[in-house]
A and B are shown apart, each in its own frame.
Chain A
Amino acid sequence: MSKMLHTVNKSPFEHSALETCLRYARQGSSVLLIEDAVYAAARDTAVAQAVQEALKRVQLYALAPDVEARGMQNRVLDGVRLVDYEGFVDLVVEHNAVQAWL
């Protein structure tokens, strides 16, 4: 069974990319939040519940440099793993395919 890495780079408050991605991401796949999508990894937001729901099925990652740039480093939801650029590369290597939800 092939494992997929999904990447999302748009704010969940301005775009439907994350919502659509989570609708298609299958059990056991991974979702990496980058650029403005890292806001989806924050606690106590209007989308936090949907993200926590998704964590039951998929592993969520957020790119640390993007999280830190936006000042969200102390607000990341439990269960969302932070990765650096090397970790991003590792994820790409570990998965069979990458789907970028632009």
Chain B
Amino acid sequence: MEEEAGAGGKVKKFLYVNRKAPYGTIYALESLEVVLIGAAFEQDVSLAFIGDGVYQLTKGQDTKALGVKNFSPAFRALDDYDVNKLYVDEASLRARGLSAEDLLVPVEVVSTERMAEIMEGQDVVLSF
């Protein structure tokens, strides 16, 4: 395949837009799976967290009693795959009484205006 990045093909900018809370639906987990796949193909990956999507990153998730897999620690592993551009919408955090300190990983908290700019700079936008 001539488009393969590893073989000198074009690296594309991928943005994954996360707008769903974890556990209530499968979207958050599926997004993370796809992010890891994209990273394995050495693409330029960014993640955006908007609305309830910011809840995916909250500290203290404990799924023992719920009986499902706690996938939040995987966000800490993203850096090992060179996925380190995580953008979190400031207004979404504020509406939920959260701040960057409540999140599992270092993120860039951005305004709606800045987030829109980031979206416009992408080759591919995948929505979850």
Binding site for B on A (CB under 8 A): 9-11, 13-14, 35-36, 39, 42-46, 48, 64-66, 68-75, 84
- B residues near A45, Cβ cutoff 8 Å: 95-97
Q: How far is the CA of A13 from the CA of B52 in the complex (A)?
A: 7
Kindly specify which of B16-24, B40-48, B73-81, B120-128 makes contact with the partner chain: B16-24
* Best-buried of A14, A64, A71 by chain B (most CB within 10 Å): A71
Q: Is the interface of B mostly helix, strand, loop or mixed?
A: loop
Residues of B participating in the A interface, judged by any CB pair closer than 8 Å: 21-25, 51-52, 55, 58-68, 70, 72, 95-97
Within the complex, what minimum Cβ distance (angstroms) separates A2 from chain B?
30
Q: How many A-B residue pairs have CB under 8 A?
A: 74
Chain A minimum-CB-distance residue to B91: A46
A46 and B24 form a contact (CB under 8 A): no
Q: Which B residue's beta carbon lies closest to that of A64?
A: B65
- Please, how many angstroms separate the alpha-carbon atoms of A72 and B72 in the complex? 14
Q: Known A9-B24, A36-B24; judge A69-B62 contact (CB<8 A).
A: yes
* New A-B contacts (17) at CB < 8 Å, excluding given A71-B62, A75-B97: A11-B52, A13-B95, A35-B23, A39-B52, A39-B55, A42-B97, A68-B66, A69-B22, A69-B62, A69-B63, A69-B70, A70-B22, A70-B55, A71-B58, A71-B72, A73-B60, A84-B65
